[in-house]
Chain A
Amino acid sequence: MRKANWLLLLALPAFVLWAIFMVGPFVRGILMSFTNEALVGPNAMNVHFIGLENYRRLLSDADFYNSVKVSSIFVFGSAIVGQVGLGLLLAVLINRKRKIYGKISWAIALTTAIVILAWVTPAAVTGLTWTSFLNKYGVLNQIIGVFVGSEVAYFWLAKKPMLSIILANIWQGTGWSMLLLGAAIESVPHEVNEAAEVDGATSWQRFRYITLPLIMGPILVNLIFITIWTYGVFEVPYMLTKGGPAGKTELLTIYGYQQAFKYFDLGYGSTVAVGILVITMVLAIIYYRLLGRQAWNK
């Protein structure tokens, strides 16, 4: 390591880009939440600070509380139960150290490939894939039609909107958890498991009392990140339902977006976004307190 010199200037372009386009929007968003900034109309010409007005409005806004509820159900269903739950199940199933791995490696290869394919699929294609899959004339209705023996024309996106966006998000996100938790499980020392097996522990007991405590750290980290990301998800749910019908899938991100682009209120939309930040921060701390202590005590 040497002393700093003029070569420090090399860092300037990247620093400026980052400061403008990544830190900039964050700071600007917090500032905007205290203003009446608007997309069009008289307020667009006359932007000024209005103190805590937006926050007062937020706390008495029934639609905001609806969005908090919708987003939380979405996160619980798609992130916690879906991605982490299903991801953990898959991570256990594809573990290369299992005795039956050799016999089912073909099924593991196939499943891994398809789950990863869904994960690397760009958001726009996920949107098209699921709108077509859940369409009135779509594949899902055709399959159900085969089983019930008559034509089915159920409009899933309108009748079961929440389930639709949760399934689409699980479909897209599970690959990540599967890879991460799979890597964590494979890093558990084999000797510990073998010793326990000699002592007569069943495979469930070995998972519950050896593997699970050892991978609690990665699970916790994964849970925190997925929760933050999922509260921030916008594109695929927006593509599928646009927050409708009647606000049933109006996630916080979609609510904020619509405040800005439907009601032209950029200031209030930013206040909703600050609300998301506060919620995810509080949840991250709670997770850390609840699971973190448990994970590091063991």
Chain B
Amino acid sequence: MEQMRNVSPDAESWALTLKQRWWAISKPFSIFFNAAILLLIALIFFLPFTWMLVSAFRENPQLNLAFSNFWLGNFVQVFTGNTAIWIRNSLIVATGATVTATTTAFLAAYPFARFNFPGKTLVLFAMLLSMTIPLGVVMLPTFSLARSMGLENSLVGVFLIIAGRQIPLSVWVLKEFIASVPMELEEAAWIDGASKMATLWRIVFPLTAPGIAVMGMLTFLVGWGDFVVSFLLISSEDLIPISMGIYKTSLEATAYGQLRINYGVQTAISLIYMIPPIVLYLLFRQHLIKGMTAGAVKG
């Protein structure tokens, strides 16, 4: 018995030191191995960007990668000529979609948050379900519908379709925001004689402003990045947004690289085009991860 009692802690600590020793030896390898995999993935993901990053800063670049003729003029030229029109059109689409979707979704979220009415659950569920249908699957009827409504070749048509597709998510999120505003605040204002619309505007709206900002920016991003809807609807040169303009450049790149296009300007506008999504990601990174964690825990 005596022996046993002595042996077992010894054996345990011996096993522990062995494990610690093994970790001491293997730790540098583990660090090296993990860092190497990470850096390899980073390098592979970065390579496709290189041509664009370099060419935007060259005078009259070609399709090969070369570090010469450093020039910032491309970024000046972007704001003149065709590319300026693309920027204007993208701004119209993104702003139009944002204003339309966010305003209507905020107004709709209020009754969904505050009242019970027949069909409420059904509509909310249908909205959720409709979000799972990718745009790529409903391209043709979307085009056919727009044509029959006279929205073909119109930026208003483009942003209305984008706004309509953003409504389910906006209503769902803003509904949660409004539900978190204490009912008592509104009731107190009513007693003081404020109308229902006035409390909505003066109490609910300011308290849900962060949520409205998030959904507004998200919709802006969707409108800004849109390619498919414009591609289906727009045919006039002076109505194409940035995405379609860049697409036409990449077509030229596929066809063995012709010289008709100034790749310097095209790559410069591509870089400018990427700024809004990057800024938005940096601003809302924490919200996004939090939302994902909440979703992940719920499974």
Contacts and interface: CB of A to CB of B under 8 A. Distances in A.
Contact of A270 (B134, B141, B243): B141
Contact of B167 (A10, A14, A121, A233): A14
A218 B137 contact: no
Interface in A97-118: 100, 103-104, 107-108, 110-111, 114-118
Interface string A204-235: 00000000000101101100010011011111
Contacts of A157: 254
Given A1-B114, A187-B297, A18 B244 contact: no
Interface stretch (B3-11, B32-40, B69-77, B205-213): B32-40
Interface string B192-229: 00001000000000000000000000000000110110
Contacts of A253: 136-137, 139
8 contacts: A13-B107, A15-B123, A23-B126, A28-B145, A32-B144, A128-B270, A139-B47, A256-B139
B191 interface: no
Nearest to B126: A23
B262 interface: no
A13 B111 CA distance: 13
A29 B101 CA distance: 23
Contact of B140 (A32, A171, A235): A32
B81 interface: no
Contacts of A229: 134
Contacts, number: 302
A122 B140 contact: no
A76 B297 CA distance: 26
Interface size class of A (residues with CB under 8 A): 35 or more
B156 interface: no
Contacts of A139: 47-48, 50-51, 65
B167 A124 contact: no
Contact of A18 (B46, B135, B164): B164
A162 to B, nearest CB: 16
Nearest to B107: A10
A216 B270 CA distance: 38
B292 interface: yes
Nearest to B117: A4
A179 B278 contact: no
Given A124-B247, A139-B51, A260-B143, 19 more contacts: A11-B107, A12-B108, A17-B163, A18-B164, A26-B133, A110-B38, A111-B45, A118-B45, A120-B274, A124-B225, A124-B273, A128-B247, A139-B65, A184-B296, A221-B295, A221-B299, A232-B136, A269-B140, A277-B137
A72 B115 CA distance: 45
Contacts of A123: 225, 227, 243
A142 B145 CA distance: 46
Contacts of A215: 296
B112 A129 contact: no
Contact of B253 (A116, A135, A187, A232): A135
B134 A120 contact: no
Nearest to B135: A232
A17 B167 contact: yes
- Centre residue among A90, A131, A253, A256 by max chain B CB count within 10 A: A131
Nearest to A276: B137
Contacts of A103: 31, 35
Contact of B225 (A22, A122, A266): A122
B299 to A, nearest CB: 3
Nearest to A6: B196
Contact of B138 (A26, A121, A225, A228): A26
Contacts of A25: 138, 141-142, 145
A32 B137 contact: no
A217 B39 CA distance: 29
Given A21-B165, A107-B35, A277 B273 contact: no
A37 interface: yes
Interface string B116-133: 110000010011001011
A84 B151 CA distance: 39
Contacts of B228: 234-235
Contacts of A221: 295, 299
A277 to B, nearest CB: 6
B137 A135 contact: no
Closest 9 CB pairs of A and B: A232-B134, A21-B164, A217-B299, A14-B108, A29-B141, A124-B243, A234-B136, A4-B117, A14-B104
B34 A22 contact: no
B157 to A, nearest CB: 10
Nearest to A251: B136
Contacts of B117: 4, 8
B52 A129 contact: yes
B177 to A, nearest CB: 15
Interface in A273-298: 273, 276-277, 295
